[in-house]
Amino acid sequence: MNFSSVYIEDEIAETERVTDILARVGDIPRIRIERYGEIFNRAGQNFRLQKQAPALILAKKHGKKVLPAPEGYGFEQGSGFYFSHMLNCLYDCRYCFLQGMYRSAHYILFTNYEDFMHDILGQSAQAAGNVFYSGYDCDSLAMEPVSGFCNSFIPFFGNRPEMTLEIRTKSTQVRKLLEFDPLPNCVVAMSFTPEAAAKRWEHRVPAITKRLLAMRKLQQAGWPVAIRFEPVIAEPEVENNYARLFQQVFSTLNGELMHSVSLGEFRLPKDFHKKMVKLYPEEGLLARETICSDGMVSLAGGGAEMMQAIESRLLTHVDSSRYYRCA
Amino acid sequence: MLGDPVLINLVVAHGLEAKPLIALFDLQPQEDSDNVYVSNSGVRLIVTGMGRQNVEYSLAQWVETKPSARRDMAWLNVGIAGHQNLAVGDTLIANKIISGPDNESVFPTPIISGLKTGTVITVDRPELNYPKDAAYDMEAFAFWRSAAAFGPLDLVQSYKIVSDNPDSSTDKVTPNLIAELFDSASMEIEDLVLQLKALAAKQQSLVSDPPAFVSAKASYRLSVTQEIQLRRLCHRFYALQMGESLEVILSASHRDSRALIGALHAALGHADGNPGREGGESLSRVEAGGGQTERNQAS
């Protein structure tokens, strides 16, 4: 995990967590800042340029830390909320909305975990059975060796079985999770696209086989695991590609023990798509014919028929009670 | 002046700092200016005079004379500085620049590899006591503020060569020493300029007009909307590895620009395996924007 530099907000610079993190990032330039806004997402910054040498920003999250999850984001078990202790991702997936969301590719790590927990508790007090998603604006596990996210949040949710945590990731960093006893209320959800799509668009992401092995370790240890087949990208042979992927996934993992599986088509807010086209004008995926509906862009050639066909194939591997279609 | 071949603007305060760079990059004086030099290898040098006001004035004046200059050039401030701890001859690239008088900070993006980094404090008078572990200069803050308004923020950088420190005071900074310091740093400066030029060139290539668009633009009368559409369509053909199809369509005869754009859309629709689709949102806009234009000449 290489960062070009680490920026540290003055307010948190002397905290124990920041001291621990700095000990883990190695000998890189350390730069003190007042607020992360001095560095992150400033006008004139370029996501693509910064992605070549991203820095780590250690900051304190102010304001709302827990937000309602978008409609159809997760497996229905109660009200859904997400929290982002990080912004941006170590990986570089060409389809990812983060490229259109921020001008900056630096990674922000909000280190005031206890404040997140406080807000999670506050939200949970309002209704039982809430699901809290981590990994909406980042990959929750990819930076685990630096962030120590699991060390803080797994015990927290372990003591609160009435709440569910879903960790979304493409990372194979599961060693820390495996040190804990499995929690029935902590789901590790891994995203997959077929081999061809992964090779073409998921830069720096561990290979499918390695990710599946990580998931198998978790499942064998008793952790609830989930698979998110997202984003489904319309292309020739898409059904066959998914058929092969399903075969690979369900020959490695036990479908009957799986918490849930989902399918979600490639969709982006129109403004994000526009920004991504500007960033990567040479990218074929972003040059494809699109359809715009309700402010969301999707690929022509996809749609309900394709999703239905893939869904049918998926449901030959897993019971429909464990399946949902991501909106 | 989108044809401006310059990829990087070097900014120095003093003629003594300019001289070695003029030699290093084979720069020639620019016509109608006594403080700007250019090379045919994509480098421009602006000599601003010392202190923040001179930097601000010179760069503002330069922009005034180049109102349509492309905005995706790199900017590099090169100059000497004092330092509390670094030896004379050491170099650094600024990762934080503080305005001494008001303590305001800016943060150049850490996009350059292989160089020592550090804080630069810009002061209004030479700093003789070096109170902090930082480089002291008189221009970097004003340079960064000004240049960041003209170019991509990530490509605005400041590079300092240590000329004085507590063991070697400013009165030892002679023209000969400056020449020696620049000579010692020349390879590093060349490498830095190469890195920034490469980044700027990449940025410029991403926003440049595709050649096919340039030739089509010369052949058809286009509304502003159609020009935007045609440019994007050409980019899409290349991104989809359909450059040959684009050439074929452009070389065919089309009634007018609207017909040309319609043909390009249709080809892309088919390429996506959707002969029934016509480009969703975009085609309706094409048709709405067309109509009043006619082809300038037969192809």
Of A279, A317, A273, A321, whose CA–CA distance to A298 is shortest? A273
**Interface A-B: count of C-beta contacts within 8 A:** 105
Hey, which residues 207-246 in chain A have their CB within 8 Å of chain B? Answer: 236
Q: Is A44 on the interface with B (CB under 8 A)?
A: yes
Helix (H) or strand (E) holding A262: strand A260-265
The ipTM is 0.90
Rg of chain B over Cα atoms, rounded to whole angstroms, equals: 25
pLDDT 10s digits, A182-208: 999 999 999 999 999 999 999 999 999
B280–A291 CB contact, under 8 Å: yes
Cα–Cα dist B118/A161, whole Å: 48
Chain A residues lying within 8 Å of B153, measured CB to CB: 42-46
A49–B203 CB contact, under 8 Å: yes
Dihedrals φ, ψ of B127, to 5°?
-90, 120
Q: Is A41 on the interface with B (CB under 8 A)?
A: no
Q: CA torsion, points B20, B141, B199, B1, in degrees to nearest 10?
A: -80
B259 contact partners, CB below 8 Å, separation of at least 6: none
pLDDT at B288 over 50: no
Q: Is A286 on the interface with B (CB under 8 A)?
A: yes
Domain A6-325 of CATH type 3.40.50.1980: no
Cα–Cα dist B95/B111, whole Å: 10
B281–A291 CB contact, under 8 Å: yes
> In chain B, which residues touch A (CB < 8 A)?
95-96, 105-107, 109-111, 113, 117-119, 148, 151-155, 199, 203, 206-207, 232, 235-241, 268-269, 271-274, 277, 279-281
Cα–Cα dist B222/B81, whole Å: 53
Percentage of chain B exceeding pLDDT 70: 87
Which of B106, B109, B119 to probe by mutation at the A interface, max A CB count within 10 Å? B109
pLDDT at B270 over 80: no
Boundaries of every domain in chain A? 6-325
Give B147 to chain A, closest Cα distance, Å: 11
pLDDT 10s digits, B42-95: 999 999 999 999 999 999 988 888 766 667 789 999 999 999 999 999 999 999
Q: Is A262 on the interface with B (CB under 8 A)?
A: no
Which of A289, A294, A297 to probe by mutation at the B interface, max B CB count within 10 Å? A289
A289–B154 CB contact, under 8 Å: no
pLDDT 10s digits, A258-303: 999 999 999 999 999 999 999 999 999 999 999 999 999 999 988 8
All domains in chain B, ordered by first residue? 8-207 (3.40.50.1580), 211-289 (no CATH)
* pLDDT at position B150: 85
Comparison of pLDDT for A207 and A130, the residue scoring more: A207
Give B23 to chain A, closest Cα distance, Å: 30
Give the sign of the dihedral formed by CA A280, CA A282, CA A286, CA A291. Answer: positive
Cα–Cα dist B207/A279, whole Å: 9
